[in-house]
Amino acid sequence: MQIETITTQAYSDQNPGTSGLRKKVKVFQQAGYLENFVQSIFSSLEDFSGKTLVLGGDGRYFNRTAIQIIIKMAAANGFGELIIGQSGLLSTPAASHIIRKYHAFGGLVLSASHNPGGPDEDFGIKYNVSNGGPAPEKDTQAFYQYSQSISSYKTTHFADVDLDNIGIQYRGDFKITIIDPVTDYAELMQSIFDFPLLKQSISSGYITLLFDAMSAITGPYAKRILVDMLGAPEASIINAVPLEDFGGHHPDPNLAHAHELAERMFSADAPTFGAASDGDGDRNMITGSQIFVTPSDSLAIMAANATLIPAYAKGLSGVARSMPTSQAVDRVAAQFQLPCYETPTGWKFFGNLLDAEKITLCGEESFGTGSNHVREKDGLWAVLFWLNLIAQKRQSVADIVHEHWQKFGRDIYSRHDYEAVETPIANAMIEHLRELIAELPGKAFGEYVVSYADEFCYEDSVDGSISKNQGIRIGFANGSRMVFRLSGTGTVGATLRIYLERFEADASQHNQDAQVALADLITLAEQFCEIKKRTGRTEPNVIT
């Protein structure tokens, strides 16, 4: 194989965010842009000669082009084999599983997750390490450092690989294996959940379900598992065909973007259970007839009921949540005397805890939940977990949630997002909050007395690494809390996220609307960050 070294110019903006490098497609289409980042990854890694790399994406626009480029670069850089999902497709959790199952060196996942797709929209790329999880910060920083002084990349010439037919192809000694993207993942799900019980509950009509694949990657996975294996009617899956532009929608599983599902779940003839996943299949939204389950509550409910699921029947070793996620799971951990960890936003921070078997379940407010079965959050896994719970407990989603609140109290929770704020203004807002930290403790704002204010800094209990500046936290004497941070996944300007929570022990107050129950905290949060004064915005773009 003839290796070519191509001269290139460094780009200054290749610093990965919360989850890999995400930019507009047009940015990735600039000469050498994708190549530079891929070479920066390869050049920062060691000892992969002759080893296997997993490659696939969520099928968004530019996926196939990027895959052909990466195949040639992987060959030129010395990998021995590529395992690629048919048609270039792999959901993020499936990619994580395949890396682990086939003992690959690592994997490249091509996705911008829940961000929209198409020629004028977003693309992304993320490197996952041999445990199947996102590369830790020390690696992503090394990729960025390399990209800042890159002057050439390696590639080679050969005919484009046929991505659509399953089987093995060679280019010289370089082996390319095209696999079915669903089979390994479906087998893994079968090993975790009680499929005979699920099949019986679905075929008897006890569970009726609706899954919105949002024209993204989970369509084929949901079809195989929910329809072919568990017997749900085909019509149970909507937007089932993955499209390069997700049909022009945001493949973001929340009530605003999964509106077709939301309408059905709050209609008179709603199914028992409804769920949606995102562009790359790692997020989930859980609903039941007439009820939406917040991701924070979903994590807590899973933790409280985990022993009902075959794979977790022996109990959990511990649980973890990202810092802005509500403290609902902490209450479950306290009652079951389980270790509970608080990590920065980003799934990569759960990897060490999972590998060290300190935790079994983990989750985030951003519609992500997962377990030790892979090293990514997993949308369909969460769907199957809830279906298994409903089948086992013989209760509706609403009953499961209300019973949980009665036992543990309710952490009333909401997140307000202000998108596309000018970056200097957003940075100034965070700086202003930093300055407030010192003066807030002890001050009273109506019934809210500030008990602490700080900027979250995380020390990894496994490798001792330290991650600073992970969000401003303000906690109140009554247990309420607000958190401010800037998103690390947006592609336009900055997104300010304000996370709000208030604990309610009184069961007679549990059915309140979250926005109403949090109204005072919302006003206070807006006052603290001066959002109206600094941006002129009077309300958030998205409320979840």
Where along the sequence are the contacts to ligand G16 (CB under 6 A)? Answer: 18-19, 113-114, 278, 282-283, 322, 345-347, 364, 366, 368, 487-489, 497
CB of 387 to ligand G16, least distance (A): 22
The type of residue at 191 is S
Alpha carbon distance, N-terminus to C-terminus of the chain:
52
- Nearer to ligand G16 by Cβ, of 73 and 285: the residue is 285
Q: Are 69 and 253 in contact (CB under 8 A)?
A: no
How far, in Å, CA of 280 to CA of 230, rounded? 22
What does DSSP assign to residue 245? T
Alpha carbon distance 61, 244 (integer Å): 5
How far apart are the C-alpha atoms of 99 and 105, rounded to whole Å? Answer: 7
Q: In 3D, which of 389, 373, 375, 392 has the Cα closest to residue 188?
A: 373
CB of 450 to ligand G16, least distance (A): 24
Q: How far is the CB of 396 from ligand G16 (least distance, A)?
A: 28
CB nearer to ligand G16: give 489 or 544. 489
- Least gap, CB of 506 to ligand G16 (angstroms): 31
Q: Which helix or strand (DSSP H or E) is residue 544 part of?
A: none
For residue 187, give both structure tokens.
Answer: 């087998």
Least gap, CB of 325 to ligand G16 (angstroms): 9
The label of the residue with tokens 């994590």 reads: 299
Closer by beta carbon to ligand G16, 113 or else 140: 113
Q: Which is nearer to ligand G16, 76 or 258 (CB)?
A: 258
* Cβ distance to ligand G16 smaller for residue 166 or 256: 256
**Can you tell me the distance from the alpha carbon of 417 to that of 324, in angstroms, rounded to the nearest whole number?**
13
CA-to-CA distance for 270 and 161, rounded, in angstroms?
45
State how far the Cα of 387 lies from the Cα of 229, in Å rounded to an integer.
14
> Contact, 71 vs 55, CB < 8 A?
yes
Select 98 or 112, whichever has its Cβ closest to ligand G16: 112
Beta bridge partners of 459: 466
In Å, the largest CA–CA distance within the chain is: 73
- Closest distance of CB 487 from ligand G16, Å: 3
Residue 316 beta carbon to ligand G16: minimum distance, rounded to whole angstroms: 20
Q: 99-138 burial, b for 16+ CB within 10 Å, e for fewer?
A: bbbeebbbbbbbbbbbbbbbeebbbbbbbbbbbbbbbbbe
- Of 219, 261, 253, the closest CA to residue 115 belongs to 253
113 belongs to the catalytic site: yes
- Of the listed 44, 87, 96, 113, which one is catalytic? 113
Which of 63, 284, 87 has its CA nearest to residue 181? 87
Distance CA 137, CA 44 (A): 13
Q: Considering beta carbons, is residue 366 or 480 the nearer one to ligand G16? A: 366
Catalytic residue list: 113
